[in-house]
Each structure stands twice: as C-alpha cells, then as structure tokens.
Amino acid sequence: MPIIAPSLLASNFLRLDDELKMINESKADWIHIDVMDGRFVPNIAIGLPVIAAMRPATKKIFDVHLMILEPERYAEDFRKAGADRLTVHLEACTHLHRNIQQIKSLGMEAGVALNPSTPVELLSDILHDLDSVLVMSVNPGFGGQQFIPHTFQKIRNLRRMIHDRGLSTHIELDGGVTVENCTSLVKSGADVLVAGNTVFSSKDPIATIHSLKNCD
Ligand code: DX5
Ligand code: ZN
C-alpha cells in the first residue's frame, strides 16, 4: 500500500482546522506542505508560521517540500516549526550533499526533488544518503496541472537504481496524481503519492484518500 500525502496547497486555507480534522480521520500517512519563495518557482504559498500553527492539530508526519533557493538558511527553522521531513530541489542546491547532511543532523528525514526535465541519473552519487526522492510530474509551483506522461519512465529507471543498490529509498510522486493513474504509478515503482486537487476538490476527501491508499 502506498503512503498517501494530501497536499495542503489545494486545501481551503480559511478552514485549515477542518481540513486537518478531515486528514486526521482519514488513512493519510503524511501531510504534504509546499513552501515556495517566488524565486525558484513563480509562486508563494505556505510559510513557517502557518506550519507552526498547524503542528498541535495533528500527529501526522509533516512532509515539507521546499521549492526555495538556499534552503540551508531555513532548515533549522522548519524543524522548529514542526517539519518531520524536508525535501530540497536538486536544481536549487549547489552543495546538495551538505544540504542533505544538514537536514539529517537536525533530526529530519531528507529528500531530494527533481523537476520534470532533470534526469534521475543525476542522483547516482547521493541516492544512498536519501530517505526519499520526490519526482515532480508537473512543473513545480502550482496545483491542478496535468500529469506529464514521461514521468512513468523516470520512476521505472529510478526504481531500478534503488533496487540495484539494495536501498529502501521512497519514490514520492508529486503533481497530477488521480484515482485513475495511481495504480499505474505504484506499479511503476512509486510508493508515496502526493495528491492536492484530487483530494481537496473531491466530494468526499476521506473516501478519495481511501481509494488512493488502495491503489496497488
Ligand atoms: C506543485 C506542488 C504539488 C501540488 C500538487 O508545485 O509541489 O504538491 O500541490 O497538486 P496537484 O495534486 O493538484 O497536482
Ligand atoms: Zn509538492
């Protein structure tokens, strides 16, 4: 069964308390929180004070996806705000190895995200240090975009790399995940599914999370 991570970007920000209650009652494992800086991606979303405010309302894992430049400047602040896992973009990090070590030394799980045009092979010399790889199946910055089909090939290649090295690294899929494509995604090798609009625009989000959980 895949790990399901509803993406708060698609939630109702005026009713975050209710959204978190819904997630608490659901089979969701992680809560995916998108952080943007208006520089690495052309958008700005949730920030540190909002994460800190949400922390007491749930025990679910806070999976923070940093779409920001110079993430090392804020890693400790995100830990203090309540992040359990931190994912940085390969394209935003000149010293990726140092970034990953910093995240781990702060007691968080560490992930690396790849834009759609970034080859998975670039992770060859860092993969063994990672808890997860986040494969973007849309260009980062916005929810509700269409899934890029080439992502399937990337997931298969990455799963082979992980398998060949005897690792247990998670493959997290982010962007355009639906109840329709989730089974093929899991079959290709993804084991964490992030879903924004599919969950929060559905009539029954708890049932939708349940369906995603049963995608295998
Ligand atoms: C996009 C974000 C995603 C986004 C996914 O930059 O990283 O997490 O919320 O939204 P959907 O699932 O609607 O494509
Ligand atoms: Zn994300």
Hey, what's the torsion of the CAs at 179, 16, 40, 176, to 10 degrees? 10
Q: What is the residue with the minimal CA distance to atom 10 of ligand 1?
A: 143
Ligand 2 centroid to residue 34 C-alpha, Å: 5
pTM of the model: 0.98
Return the ligand 1 atom nearest residue 140 CA.
6
Question: In whole angstroms, what is the distance from residue 81 CA to residue 198 CA?
Answer: 27
- DSSP code string of the chain: --EEEEBGGGS-GGGHHHHHHHHHHSS--EEEEEEE-SSSSS-----HHHHHHHGGG--SEEEEEEE-S-GGGTHHHHHHHT-SEEEEEGGG-TTHHHHHHHHHHTT-EEEEEE-TTS-GGGGTTTGGG-SEEEEESS-TT-SSPPP-TTHHHHHHHHHHHHHHTT---EEEEESS--TTTHHHHHHHT--EEEESHHHHTSS-HHHHHHHHHT--
Name the residue ranges covered by the structural domains of the chain.
3-213
The answer to whether residue 108 scores a pLDDT higher than 90 is yes
Any idea which ligand is nearest the CA of 208? 1
**Residues 128-144: what's their mean pLDDT?**
98
Pick from 91, 142, 145, 173 the residue to mutate for probing ligand 1's pocket: most ligand atoms within 8 Å of its CB.
142
Average pLDDT, the chain: 98
The CATH T-level fold of domain 3-213 is TIM Barrel (3.20.20)
How much distance in Å is there from the Cα of 170 to the middle of ligand 2?
Answer: 15
- Quote the pLDDT of residue 216: 82
Residues with CB under 6 A from ligand 1: 7, 9-10, 32, 34, 65, 138, 140-145, 174-177, 194-198
What is the tens place of the pLDDT at every residue in 152-202?
999 999 999 999 999 999 999 999 999 999 999 999 999 999 999 999 999
Lateral strand order in the sheet of 170-174: 3-6, 192-195, 170-174, 132-136, 109-114, 85-89, 61-67, 30-36
pLDDT of residue 37: 98
Ligand 2: centre distance to CA 156 (Å): 20
Which residue in 37, 63, 131, 174 is the catalytic one?
A: 174
pLDDT tens by residue, 68-96: 999 999 999 999 999 999 999 999 999 99
174 is catalytic: yes
For ligand 2, the distance from its centroid to the CA atom of residue 68, given in whole angstroms, is 12
Residue 165 has a pLDDT of 98
Match 């806070």 to its residue by tokens: 62
Rounded CA-CA distance 77/105 in Å is 13
Residue of minimum CA distance from atom 7 in ligand 1:
140
- Could you confirm whether 17 is annotated as catalytic? no
Region 29-57 average pLDDT: 98
Q: Percentage of the chain with pLDDT > 70?
A: 100
The percentage of residues in the chain with a pLDDT greater than 90, rounded to a whole number, is 100
